[in-house]
Amino acid sequence: MTTRLPTPPPSPNMPQLVLCADGGGSKVCVIIRSSDGIEVRGIAGPCNIQSVGFQAASQSLLLATYRALSQLPNLYIPSQLYIPPLSPTLVPPPLSSLENNGESSKIPTKLPDLNVPVFQYAWLGLAGIQNDSDANAFAGYAINALALNPDRIKLSNAISLQGIEHVVAVVAGTGTIGRTIRVSPKISENADRRKGKSPSLPLEDVGIARGWGYLLCDEGSAFWIGRLAIRSVLAFADRQYSSSLYSSPNTGLSLFHQDILRYFGTSNPSELINLASICDDSFKGLNVGEATAKRNALIAGSARVVLKWAFPEDQPINPTSGLPTPPGSTDGDVDVDSELNNDLDIEMESELGASAPLEEIEKAHNEAKKLIRKAIEPLVELTLECLGDLTVVKMERTALVLGGGLMMSPGYRNLLLSRLAKLAVEFGKVILVEDAAKEGAEALSNFVFG
């Protein structure tokens, strides 16, 4: 049973706080914003409630929250608040430890819930929340973890806009999902304020498309693009094995395929099968949930290699090698070890370098672009599903909001918009959300504090 906690009273000596969380299949970002404009953030691991479970998701949420709180000056937090010791490498307890009352050889105890109320309001946009049932089921965990009164929290899967009646939010990160949100009139906010009540967010989920997870959908996501890249490499290996069936000569690995294999740390395409089936040695010691989350993040991370070759115009060109330089990140929801990627970039430049013929570079570009075109079509369908039959949602009064790491790629984003334009789908506004947690925290802060 959820305990109803008192909301911290306004104090002239202590600025009030709101929390906004953006959680996906690879990480969660929590931003805490004060009534006087101070803002801090904390990052932690996967927070998709469907893939990692309620306990693990709430632990990721807590860790990110504690990391953010620890950056605030003492004036901004209650003196009674206990913040556990945090190290930069601390991760939430694995699923196995949570299922065994915190007993684990990896991390002996789980993070404690906040011991006193801190926040005036919290808005949690978490992957895996498909409907009210999911939101209500996880609400108890979030309310207890964050010491919140139940009427001071809103959970959704994924914004108030003047002149806009509906928002279609299309998120393409580690996974993909589309939601249709009705923007309620501001009059309800003013009425609540006059009655001295905390205003309700003027947003209502009215539609959803996909978001069923990597096994059933996620087409157009970073995971899906990485999956297509692996399939492309394996198809090439099949062609090599079946060379006797062809009269035409078999070509060697393309620069694109070499780059994909190098990302996964192997030169043998068949080892990618072990990775996909979590039979690789790197998964030893992990339970199924942990291994699956690690596998999915690794595959999703390979999307940056595909985007690099598909959209070289998005990347700076290395003056020495003449090759496109990988972006710092092409999927904001993927948390892949930076040292691995730095080593990979250096190795690519030294091995491929200036010796790569232009025709080979063009071939790699075409192969990657072909995969991207294949990945974008289901994302177009997802967007159309969010519009219903267009009798309720009016295009001229609807905003398309694009979020997720893949949408930070101009090439990928423009390809989606150009495909929609060819279908005569034109929104009243198109908005790119580069930092969902930050923009959500700013909007929530403005709404709650006025």
Which pLDDT score is estimated for 224?
A: 94
Determine how many CB atoms are found less than 10 A away from the CB of residue 6. 9
Which pLDDT score is estimated for 240?
A: 83
Which pLDDT score is estimated for 446?
A: 67
Averages of pLDDT over each 10 residues, the chain, 450 residues: 47 78 84 90 85 85 93 89 73 43 42 91 81 81 89 66 79 88 60 46 78 87 95 90 84 89 94 90 84 89 94 66 40 34 38 66 93 95 94 90 89 94 91 73 66
Which pLDDT score is estimated for 11?
A: 54
φ and ψ of 67, to 5 deg: -65, -35
Q: Read off the tokens for 87.
A: 């190290």
Which pLDDT score is estimated for 12?
A: 54
Distance CA 11, CA 65 (A): 22
Which pLDDT score is estimated for 283?
A: 87
CA dihedral in degrees (428, 429, 430, 431; nearest 10)? -150
Distance CA 415, CA 378 (A): 13
Q: How far is CA 244 from the centre of its chain?
A: 44
- Domains belonging to the chain, first-starting first, are 1-159+435-450 (3.30.420.40), 222-371 (no CATH)
Q: Are 138 and 370 in contact (CB under 8 A)?
A: no
pLDDT in tens, 233-261: 999 888 888 888 888 887 778 899 999 99
